[in-house]
Amino acid sequence: MSAHFEVEGGHPLRGRIRPQGAKNEALQILAACLLTDQPLHVSNIPDIVDVRRLLALLQCLGVGVERLAPDSYRLQAGEVNPEALLTPEGSALVRGIRGSLLVLGPLLARCGRAFLAKPGGDQIGRRRLDTHFLGFQQLGARFKYHADADYFSLEAPEGLEGTYILLDEASVTGTANVLMAAVRARGRTTIYHAACEPYIQQLCTLLIGMGARIAGVGSNLLTIDGVDGLGGTEHRLLADMIEVGSFIGMAAMTGGELTIEGADVHQLGLIPATFRRLGVQLEIAGDDIHVDGRPLCRVETFIDGSILTIADHTWPGLTPDLLSVLLVVATQCEGTVLIHQKMFESRLFFVDKLIDMGAKIILCDPHRATVVGLERRTQLRGISMSSPDIRAGVALLIAALSARGTSYIYNIEQIDRGYERIDDRLQALGARIWRRN
């Protein structure tokens, strides 16, 4: 039987905590090791399920993986075998993690061919792969979907050619994949409508450290002059902005006081400002964030008095990965908030669990939910529930931490995919949470 969390709610979180390294950055950086036969040293890597799965997939391809410290690895892709991902073992690893997509660009650039079964990942709605494959095709790769065996193949036996690419969406993984292919293409590639999230900026920094020539870092127009080969380098991941936002939500919901250390505040974008609009008390000192959750949060309306709307958007807009946490926090605020999840049509379907816990939420449609405000802080009640995906899972965990009574959260592998030892770390802050079998 799989493990579950037992959570006794109503205990304020107090103390100091340091966020893990960024999950989404880690997957891109680890995949980039395939671009060179020289060693890559990467630190601040979170020990989470998705990272372990990608490391296993890289080893299946032939990458040497050495763990130097709990959060530090040496990776060296001396001999790489793209066909390994067509084996039963390789296909199983691919189907266990959506981030497996990120090996396509590096394999295509270095080996001239890449193969991949349909990747796994969260079931949060339609998640197109077109941006990746259209970009590769524009660089000169031949693409084919093999319906009989259910896998994709890409081939560029003569190598890739630089070109002008206008992405049809500012996809983070799509940008990362096409970028990693372009750094070893012949000539110049320009990628317009590129994602410009901090994690893409970090990937550019890594690739430049390996010898790539990239201009426009931090903008939505990247210019890449291809090089014949890349070398090794060292890289340290940023703090995970989603975990930072999750800890802010936990402190606010439990009425605790929490200091989040080393949060890389300059890379958080609108996250602190959005929590403040919900009335959460934040103080920022350098890269540390102090959260005081004791006063009741009061929602700011818009200047014209209309209901506050919180919506996701491509960077530098608000990341969609935090909307679930913000929705939960809004259940304990004075005032009404409209949460608009634009990018994924299934990410709000966990609100039925919050309604069962006593929250006042109206699911308007698959993309919008109205959270009806409170005149005073009213505890949710503990229930049994299942985690549908990483972000909804941690949102339900935050609700359970603040609830009256005991909650049971099942399918917690989803939470473990993105949050390192979350139960142990929360216990150190005063939470009453146990991992049960």
Residue in 322, 309, 314 with CA at minimum distance from that of residue 277? 309
Q: How far is CA 403 from CA 81, 97, 157, 397, 422, in A?
A: 51, 32, 59, 10, 18
Indicate which residue of 50, 71, 122, 352 is catalytic. Answer: 122
3-state secondary structure the chain: CCCEEEEECCCCCEEEECCCECHHHHHHHHHHHHHCCCCEEEECCCCCHHHHHHHHHHHHHCCEEEEEECCEEEEECCCCCHHHHHCHHHHHHHHCCHHHHHHHHHHHHHHCEEEEECCCCCCCCCCCCHHHHHHHHHCCCEEEEECCCCEEEEECCCCCECCEEECCCCCHHHHHHHHHHHCCCECEEEEECCCCCHHHHHHHHHHHHCCCEEECCCCCEEEEECCCCCCCEEEECCECHHHHHHHHHHHHHHCCEEEECCCCHHHCCCHHHHHHHCCCEEEEECCEEEEECCCCEECCCCCCCCCEEEECCCCCCCCHHHHHHHHHHHCCEECCEEEECCCCCCCCCCHHHHHHCCCCEEEEECCEEEECCCCCCCCCECCEEECCCHHHHHHHHHHHHHCECEEEEECCHHHHCCCCCHHHHHHCCCCEEEEEC
Q: Hey, CA dihedral for 161, 167, 172, 174, is it positive or negative?
A: negative
Q: Is 168 a catalytic residue?
A: no
For residue 435, which phi and psi values (nearest 5 degrees)? -95, 115
The catalytic site residues sit at 122
